[in-house]
Amino acid sequence: MQRRITGFVLDEHGDWIASLDCGHRQHVRHDPPFTSRPWVVSSEGRADRIGSGWPCSLCDRFEVPAGFVAYKRTPEFTEVTVPQGLRRDHSTKRGVWAKIRVLEGTLRYHVPALNRQFDVTPEAPGIVIAEVVHHVEPLGPVRFYVEFFRAPTT
Ligand SMILES: [Zn+2]
């Protein structure tokens, strides 16, 4: 999916990596003649790209960004106490990911924007992608909570 570039860092080999607003990092190589991105090797070129779009394959794969830490969780909910807000389409804020953790039963997790749905069980948590609209639907008795993740504060 399309994300926005928030900055650039160098890796240990001297290749540029773009930081994206989802929390992921993607290599942006200038490797002529195969990949020509002369703009990435100049500070002006990089500055011009801040805020521009970049496709993030890691978001497409529902991968929580490396190094993200849990900082908050909801109370435990059941099929009776699940807030209406979670049953309706909603999303997390920029840079905030979540894991839906089922303790007992099965919770259906819908991601309409990506045309995906998952049955979340104690063995398989649901991964909530930052800013991507989703909702949940209890399939019978269930106990679950949601745990939120973000970049570590330095
Ligand atoms: Zn991403």
Per-residue pLDDT tens for 71-127? 999 999 999 999 999 999 999 999 999 999 999 999 999 999 999 999 999 999 999
Structure tokens at 39: 């703009």
Q: How far is CA 9 from CA 19, 34, 41, 83, in A?
A: 7, 22, 11, 41
Other C-beta atoms closer than 10 Å to the C-beta of 117 total 14
pLDDT digits (tens, 9 = 90+) for 51-82: 999 999 999 999 999 999 999 999 999 999 99
Confirm if 91 and 132 have CB atoms less than 8 A apart: yes
| CA 90 to ligand 1 center in whole angstroms | 19
CB atoms within 10 A of CB 87: 13
Task: Flag whether pLDDT at 154 surpasses 80.
Answer: no
The tokens for 58 are 């890691």
What is the three-class DSSP state of 30? coil
Neighbouring CB atoms inside 10 A of 145's CB total 14
- Determine the Cα angle at 137 with ends 76 and 98, to 5°: 55
**C-alpha distances out from residue 65 to 24, 42, 83, 131, 134, Å:** 5, 27, 27, 14, 19
- CA of 20 from ligand 1 middle (Å) equals 7
**How many angstroms separate the alpha carbon of residue 120 from the centre of ligand 1?**
22
* Confidence bin at 32 (pLDDT 50/70/90): confident
pTM, two decimals, is 0.92
Q: Which residues surround ligand 1, an ion (CB under 5 A)?
A: 22, 24, 56, 58-59
The Cα–Cα gap between 100 and 109 comes to 9
**Alpha carbon of 129 to ligand 1 centroid (Å):** 8
